[in-house]
Chain A
């Protein structure tokens, strides 16, 4: 509980400091005429965001709130012929680029640094409580319990700190998505909108978040702690950066690509950096190696010769086609919101567009 309220706090800080950039993009820049945000149409936009996300949660397909929000607003703007294609294009390009950045960063970490990081971070959870309260003095002082190591405590602090970072990054982006149409319509001022948004997120977190957390939570718990920490850090930093430049970023997709990158990098690691630097197992690109190969002789695919075929290979886990399918599936929910909003605003005449 204390953790959740702490997280809510971070969400608020994030929403307050960087959130306004994203709100401006969504509630102002994305449409050529903010007149399209009537109270009715804003509610309609939020309805489609909620509906699409509900479907996503119901079927266990993780979906990005940001993409869904942008999609819904774009649907409205398109129907009212007020979409700023320049801004939309910029957002879309970042949507494509940012997951790749996350993928590559994680891939490099997974391939070359994971083993080292894992040794550094390795947290052995000991039996019993982590902290004990020393009541011998005047004031009770929390101290490490006898069974807990300093390293362990440090690890827990690190995990909490990263939780806060994630909450901060989600605040920068998600609150903004939720309130942008209302701010754009002029129904709410920026400040009160952020406060109401945070309040609503807080209520949601305490009540029905468990259902939503299930998908992401079960995925993340499949990961070793080190991997979860790396994923959380890389994706949070990317989301905060994108929010700071006013791009509504997709945490889910970036996190997914980070996880895939990390695992794929690790699965395909040919050798350690040390070996690579020393030039052991020289790759078949050097001139000498090429000249000794007989013509027509089949070269073993890179990285495969070290393992006999019978042993299960980690690279089997990363089938490109299936990976692409999984990533594409994450765009379905935003697509539903976009199409739903467009069709409704275009053909249902109650919104006065």
Chain B
């Protein structure tokens, strides 16, 4: 029985599909959407922008709002009455997801997210999570 599902979302279309899939396949589970902010970028702007914020947590939450709002819309559209939890983590997406994953039964993740540049700098997040996660991973494609 899968009770707690972690769905890492980067705001990409694939990550939205992952959430839809999770809602469909685990209709009774509690779903937590994780968004990682301040990820590595070509000139490190996102991370430094966060690090320089007066209130790190507040700034991190603010950057995640859009993704969470979209996630809630998806949950509403699915028509299930599951509660949606949200979590914000900082830094490298793979590390953040793998560290968080231990507290859940399953991770449901989209097969890829952003642009070629993201892949060059961060690598394929889904692939690395799949390899390093302590719990089973469902890769949605």
Contact = CB atoms under 8 A, between A and B. Distances in A.
Interface of A: 59-62, 110, 114, 118, 215-216, 218-224, 226-227, 252, 255-256, 259-260, 262-264, 266-267, 311-314, 316-319, 322-323, 325-326, 329-330
Given A311-B57, A312-B90, A326 B116 contact: no
A223 B52 contact: yes
Given A223-B49, A263-B49, A267-B51, 5 more contacts: A60-B116, A60-B117, A263-B50, A312-B89, A326-B41
Contact of A319 (B40, B56, B60, B120): B40
Given A59-B120, A312-B57, A319-B91, A260 B48 contact: yes
Contacts, number: 122
13 contacts: A59-B116, A60-B115, A62-B42, A110-B52, A219-B42, A227-B49, A259-B48, A262-B52, A263-B50, A312-B57, A312-B89, A317-B51, A318-B47
A313 B95 CA distance: 13
B45 to A, nearest CB: 3
Contacts of A325: 40, 121
B92 interface: yes
B121 A263 contact: no
A314 B51 contact: yes
DSSP majority for the B interface? helix
A214 to B, nearest CB: 10
Most buried by B among A311, A322, A323: A322
B43 interface: yes
A330 B121 CA distance: 10
Contacts of B57: 311-312
Contacts of A323: 40, 44
A219 B48 CA distance: 10
B84 interface: no
Given A60-B116, A312-B89, A256 B44 contact: yes
B78 interface: no
Contacts of B92: 316, 319, 322
B2 to A, nearest CB: 25
Contacts of A118: 52
Most buried by A among B47, B49, B92: B47
Nearest to B96: A316
A218 B52 contact: no
Contacts of B45: 218-223, 259
B52 A256 contact: no
Nearest to B121: A326
Contacts of B96: 316
Contacts of B51: 263-264, 266-267, 314, 317-318
Contacts of B74: none
Contacts of A62: 42-43
Contacts of A256: 42-44
A256 B42 CA distance: 8
Interface string B14-48: 00000000000000000000000010111111111
A202 to B, nearest CB: 25
A258 to B, nearest CB: 9
B41 A316 contact: no
A114 B48 CA distance: 12
